[in-house]
């Protein structure tokens, strides 16, 4: 009669020990009050800079992809954090502190001098290093793609974009002129202008779609990561196809704009049909991504299993 209570007590004690020893792996539960204060400080750092980025970069053709990349990037970051097996283990304090200090100094100087591109990059770098100090290198490495993807919301230096895209613009315009001339159209080019019949187009205007190369790249990378997350080779194929896809889709855009100018006049090419050509460029880019993905998947039997649900 006295053994049953004793056995129940043992079982209850064992359950209590199991409950206490159960690890708490939730990222949110592991955030302490000092960490929360640091996150609030990070928000105060981010908001002014991102407000300027939205005001001066996201309203242009070159940066119009920003809000979409931000929304999808935050979703992807949260998705990866929930499924990441990496546990929180604070990184090296001195490495993080020195890095954050240098980046904040660059941020302050850039904000005073009004160099938004460097300010945004320094702000983003300081956030990543702050996250490294809080959560450690293992967690940062496990969310490497969302971090790179979110960086596409930031404005690149204009001088770098011009240096990269200008030779491509000239090449695309020459290819378009050569193709249409072969097909019998009265077209020629001289320097930075394209002459077709009585109309004249500037190469910079005809190839303006190349400014959206980051937008096309973001779409391709996002698609490739979701579809081939578990296959490095398949994802690399999509990533390496970004530049050729952007060049090909812009080539088609230039052809369409030149033909609209020839058949419908210069005003039509600069109005609604100009925007239609831009939408066509994105449609061609997406179709090319699907074709390349399907082709390489069938040829090399690539695994298309994505992230775990």
Question: Annotated catalytic sites, by residue?
Answer: 207, 253
Residue 278 makes CB contacts below 8 A (sequence gap 6+) with 209, 212, 253
Nearest one of 118, 117, 128 to 150, comparing CA atoms: 128
User: At 94, phi and psi to the nearest 5?
Assistant: -70, -40
């Amino acid at each position: 009669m006295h053994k049953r209570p004793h056995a129940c007590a043992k079982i209850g004690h064992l359950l209590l020990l199991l409950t206490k020893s159960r690890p708490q792996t939730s990222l949110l539960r592991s955030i302490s009050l000092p960490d929360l204060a640091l996150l609030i400080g990070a928000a105060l750092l981010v908001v002014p800079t991102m407000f300027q980025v939205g005001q001066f970069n996201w309203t242009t053709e070159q940066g119009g992809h920003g809000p979409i990349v931000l929304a999808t990037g935050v979703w992807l970051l949260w998705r990866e954090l929930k499924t990441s097996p990496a546990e929180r283990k604070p990184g090296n304090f001195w490495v993080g502190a020195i890095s954050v200090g240098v980046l904040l100094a660059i941020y302050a100087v850039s904000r005073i001098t009004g160099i938004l591109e460097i300010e945004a990059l320094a702000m983003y770098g300081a956030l990543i290093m702050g996250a490294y100090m809080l959560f450690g290198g293992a967690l940062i490495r496990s969310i490497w793609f969302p971090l790179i993807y979110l960086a596409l919301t930031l404005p690149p230096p204009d001088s770098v974009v011009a240096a990269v895209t200008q030779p491509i613009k000239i090449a695309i315009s020459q290819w378009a002129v050569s193709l249409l001339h072969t097909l019998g159209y009265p077209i020629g080019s001289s320097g930075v202008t394209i002459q077709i019949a009585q109309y004249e187009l500037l190469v910079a205007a005809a190839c303006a779609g190349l400014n959206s190369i980051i937008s096309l790249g973001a779409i391709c990378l996002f698609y490739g990561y979701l579809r081939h997350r578990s296959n490095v080779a398949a994802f690399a194929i999509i990533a390496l196809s970004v530049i050729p896809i952007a060049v090909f889709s812009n080539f088609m855009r230039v052809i369409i704009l030149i033909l609209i100018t020839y058949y419908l006049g210069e005003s039509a090419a600069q109005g609604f049909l100009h925007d239609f050509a831009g939408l066509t460029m994105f449609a061609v880019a997406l179709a090319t991504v699907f074709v390349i993905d399907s082709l390489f998947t069938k040829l090399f039997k690539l695994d298309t299993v994505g992230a775990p649900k």
